[in-house]
Amino acid sequence: MAEERENGMRDAEWEASKVCVLGLGYVGLPTAAILAVSGFQVVGVDVRHDVVEAVNAGDVPIEEAGLKTVLQGAVASGNLRAQGGPEPADVFIIAVPTPIQQNRTADLASVRDAAKSIVPHVTKGNLVVLESTVPPGTTDGLLAGILSESGLQLGEELYVAHCPERVLPGRVLTELVQNDRVIGGINAESARRAAQLYRRIAEGEICPTTAVVAELAKLVENASRDVGIAFANEVARISRTCGADGREVIALANRHPRVEILDPGPGVGGHCLPVDPWFLVEAAPELSRLVCTAREINDSQPAWVAERTMAELDGIEQPKVSIWGVAYKGNVDDARQTPALRVLEELGARGAEVSAVDFHVKRFEYELADIEASVTGADCILLLAGHREFRFFEPGAIGERMRNRILFDTRSFLPRERWKDAGFRVVSL
C-alpha cells in the first residue's frame, strides 16, 4: 500500500511534455510526428543535415503512406522541429540504426553515439527509451553504462527502458498506434514510466516487462518469421526437385487446420529480418543452430533464383533479363539488404544482361531503367517485388517488345492466366 501510494505520487509528479527523438528514419520520424500531433513538444534529432532540413520543411525523406500529411501537421502546429543535436527534455527516445558487421555481430556505434550525446542533457526524473533493435543485454549493459556517466542514479533518478518497435513498413502510422507495445524497464519504475508515455499514443495493449525480455521478444519475433520463410523456401526447392509447384504444395498443406506455412520468395531483405536473428546467434552461438541455418537458407535463395532463371533461359544466346522490383518487398522504397541486388549480381556473373525497373526505390547500387527500355529485347521478366504498378501493364503489349516471352514470378503476384493467354511461359517458385 505504502509502495502504491509512493508510486501514485511519483506518477502525479511525472507528466512528460517534451520528447527528444534521436534518429529520424523509418521508425523515429513517424514516432516523432505521432508524438507531436498527440500534443507533445518534440525535438527531432538527426546527424544527417539533409534529413533535418527536409523534416523542418515538412518533406518526408522516406516513402510511407500518410506520413507527409501527419508530418506537415506536426511541423505547422509548432510541436515538431528538427535539429542536429539533442537538448534538455523529459524523455529521450533513441531510434538509430543497428546494422550487422561483416562478422555478423551487431554494430552498436550509433546507439553508443546517441546515448553519449544525451548524457550532458539528462536531468533528474528523465526517461530514456531505446527503440532500436539490439542484442540481449544492451539496455542493461551498454546503454545503462553510458547513461550512468550523467551521475544520476539509474532507475531512481534517471529511468531507462527498451521499447522495441515492430512496425511494418507501408503501415507504420497505423501500426505505431494499434500494435501492442512491449515495454522493458531496467527496473519496474522505469517500465511504469515508459508505459505511461506510450499509453498516450498507443491504442494497443501495453505489456511491461524487463529490458532483456523485451530485447529477446523482439529478436525472437523476427527470427520466427525468418525461420518460417526459410522453411517455405526449402519446401519450394524440394517441390521443384520433385517436379511440383511449391506454392501449390504449400497452399494445399495450409488447408490443414493447424498448419500455416509462409510464402516462399526470392530471399529475405529489409532492415530487420536478415539482421536481427544474428543478434540471437551472437548471444548464444551454440544454442541457435536453427536460427543460423534459416539465415543461411534465406541468404542462399537469391543464388538459387538466379540459377533457376538461367535454367529457363537455357539455349538462348546472350540472354537478357528484365527485373521487376528491386525493393525488398512490394510497394516500399526500401532496398536495404534487398535480395534483388544479389539476384542481379548472380545473373550477371552467369552471363546474363540485366536491367531493373522500380517505381518506388530511389537509391540503388545500379542504375534503374524505365520499363520500355528494360523489356525491349528481353527474354525473361523476373518479378522480385510485387509493386502494385506492375499489375497495370498489359501482358500483350509487353510481350511484343520482348525477344522471348518468359515470366518468372517469384511472388506469384501477376495474374497468371492473363500472362499465359498473352503467350508467356509463366514460371513460379
Ligand X SMILES: NC(=O)c1ccc[n+]([C@@H]2O[C@H](COP(=O)([O-])OP(=O)(O)OC[C@H]3O[C@@H](n4cnc5c(N)ncnc54)[C@H](O)[C@@H]3O)[C@@H](O)[C@H]2O)c1
Query: Catalytic site residues?
Result: 218, 272
| Binding of residue 46 to ligand X (CB under 6 A) | yes
3-class secondary structure per residue, 116-169: HHHHHHCCCCCEEEECCCCCCCCHHHHHHHHHHHHCCCECCCEEEEECCCCCCC
Judged by CB under 6 A, the stretch of 150-158, 165-173, 242-250, 256-264 that binds ligand X is 165-173
Judged by CB under 6 A, the stretch of 26-34, 290-298, 325-333, 400-408 that binds ligand X is 26-34
Position among 9, 39, 48, 421 found at the interface with ligand X (CB under 6 A):
48
Position among 16, 19, 20, 23 found at the interface with ligand X (CB under 6 A):
23
Position among 63, 64, 90, 165 found at the interface with ligand X (CB under 6 A):
165
Q: Which residue is nearest to ligand X (CB)?
A: 25
Interface of this chain with ligand X, residues 69 to 98, rule: CB under 6 A:
95-98
| Binding of residue 55 to ligand X (CB under 6 A) | no
Instruction: State the nearest-atom distance from the C-beta of 105 to ligand X, in Å.
Output: 14
User: Of the candidates 429, 377, 380, 418, which has an alpha carbon nearest to the alpha carbon of residue 400?
Assistant: 377
- The smaller minimum CB distance to ligand X, of residues 111 and 352, is found at 111
**Chain Cα centroid distance, residue 81:** 25
Q: How many residues bind ligand X (CB under 6 A)?
A: 29
User: Of the candidates 77, 149, 95, which has an alpha carbon nearest to the alpha carbon of residue 119?
Assistant: 149
Count of all residues that appear for the chain in the document: 429
Rounded Cα distance, 239 and 251, in Å:
13
Position among 19, 24, 291, 354 found at the interface with ligand X (CB under 6 A):
24
Position among 122, 144, 154, 167 found at the interface with ligand X (CB under 6 A):
167
Helix (H, G, I), strand (E, B) or coil at 210: strand
Q: Is 181 exposed, middle or buried (0-12, 13-18, 19+ CB in 10 A)?
A: buried
Instruction: State the nearest-atom distance from the C-beta of 108 to ligand X, in Å.
Output: 10
Query: In the block, which residue shows the cell 533464383?
Result: 305
The β-bridge partners of 44 are 21, 82
Position among 272, 332, 378, 414 found at the interface with ligand X (CB under 6 A):
272
- The smaller minimum CB distance to ligand X, of residues 197 and 273, is found at 273
| Binding of residue 169 to ligand X (CB under 6 A) | yes
Cell of 186: 531496467
- Please report, as a single letter, which amino acid is at residue 372: E
Helix (H, G, I), strand (E, B) or coil at 102: coil
Cell of 85: 543535436
Instruction: State the nearest-atom distance from the C-beta of 133 to ligand X, in Å.
Output: 4
CA distances from 230 to 99, 104, 132, 274 (A): 21, 18, 25, 11
**Rule CB under 6 A: which residues touch ligand X?**
22-28, 45-48, 51, 95-98, 110, 113-114, 117, 131-133, 165-167, 169, 271-272
